[in-house]
Amino acid sequence: MIMRIPALLASVLTLLAVSVSPATAETVVPTGFRPASTSWTGPDTGYVLGYSPCAKSWCPALLGTTDGGTHWRRLGAPPMALPDNHNHVALTFAGDRVAYVSDGVHVRTTRDGGASWHPVGLAGAREPYYLSKITETAGRVFAVLTTFGEGHGSTRLYSGVAGSPVLAPVPGFAAGGGITYGDLAVGGGLQVALGADYGTEKYWTSRDGVRFAPAEPPCPAGSVASLAGVRDQQVVALCSSSPGSPQPGATERQLRHAPKLGGTFSGADAAPFAGITQGFGAASPASATVAAEGGGTGFLHSTADGGRTWTTTVLSDRGLSLTDLDFPGRGTGVVVDGQPDADGGSALYRTTDGGHHWREVLIG
């Protein structure tokens, strides 16, 4: 039996097919969209915060994908302007509905998938300061904040109950000195590292985000730890020397491993020197990648054998930054190269083989 559609209805359906579909496609990814930050909750599920030119400024847009970037949907973007000082606007999703965004000074959060965004305060923080990382795990929020002063600064761990409008310093978790820094990682437990002046770092681990145990730092004195989450029950860390050593635009690095959370780190496998360390991530105990920038070029140094041998991918000559390097699972990794308002723009790169090959993800 052949069903016949009335001529008037057929005309309406034809009109809808022609006029609605292209308009919908155009509204998903704004014209001129450039990624600023990315965060993934799984190998195929990810989010990209970016900006596009509008009215002599840059307007934010938040996109989501569930198929590795083949298709995108539009979400409610946070009211976060693109900073004039080129601070990184960092996006962190802690679940499909919970996310944080920060430009280093201001923090906003959503708990409804971007439908609404609310400010998060930092108790006692006085500018100038820079919030380098924020995340949520085990029902609590954790952030690393560094303040600057006349030849003296401090880096502290901030925390609060999930959904709290204000984060407060955690007593006893601080490092002071001329140059201070810190890192934290989640996944298989929480890790916190704080240090100053390339001296001995302090390092803590926690399985529940409430009870912390001090542990031997991942890195020897004279280097800074970049932390990855627990991978197959092992912990992977990168130890970097001060920038410019052994030569300008280079950094001495080594990969170290611990057999479990809170265990003793060992190993001295050297990573390539090229570039200043920008980020670090591990897909497994054996597979890790270092993001570095030097001489106006972005490098991704990757190993598949625990640091014994390395390959280097040269991304571009954007030469500003490599951010948000992460491996959310199944050998899949992501990184953002460049900044939206830079002359060279920015791009999202993705790997599906633990960092051996990278390709640009075309958005829109």
Inter-residue contact 321 to 332 (CB < 8 Å): no
CA distance 115 to 138: 23
User: Which helix (DSSP H) or strand (DSSP E) does residue 346 occupy?
Assistant: strand 346-351
Whole-number pLDDT of residue 76: 98
Please state the separation of Cα 231 from the chain's center in Å: 18
Order across the sheet with 107-110: list the strands.
90-93, 99-102, 107-110, 118-119
Whole-number pLDDT of residue 24: 39
Going residue by residue through the chain, which has 364 residues, state the pLDDT in tens, using 9 for 90 and above.
Answer: 333 434 444 443 333 333 333 333 346 999 999 999 999 999 999 999 999 999 889 999 999 999 999 999 999 999 999 998 889 999 999 999 999 999 999 999 999 999 999 999 999 999 999 999 999 999 999 999 999 987 799 999 999 999 999 999 999 999 999 999 999 999 999 999 999 999 889 999 999 999 999 999 999 999 999 999 999 999 999 999 999 888 888 999 999 999 999 999 999 899 999 999 999 999 999 999 999 999 889 999 999 999 999 999 998 778 679 999 999 999 999 999 999 999 889 999 999 999 999 999 999 7
CA distance 358 to 241: 26
Whole-number pLDDT of residue 80: 98
CA max distance for the chain = 85
The model's pTM: 0.91
User: 321-344 burial by CB neighbour count: b if 16+ within 10 A, else e?
Assistant: bbbbbbbbeebbbbbbbbbbbeee
Inter-residue contact 60 to 50 (CB < 8 Å): yes
Whole-number pLDDT of residue 83: 93
Whole-number pLDDT of residue 170: 98
Please spell the DSSP secondary structure of 36-99, one letter per residue: EEEEESSSS-EEEEEEEEETTEEEEEEEEESSTTSS-EEEPPP--PPPTT----EEEESSSS-E
Whole-number pLDDT of residue 11: 43
Q: Tokens at residue 285, please? A: 């105990």
Whole-number pLDDT of residue 13: 36
Whole-number pLDDT of residue 319: 66
Whole-number pLDDT of residue 320: 77
Residues 6+ apart with CB under 8 A from 137: 94, 186, 190, 209
CA distance 130 to 238: 22
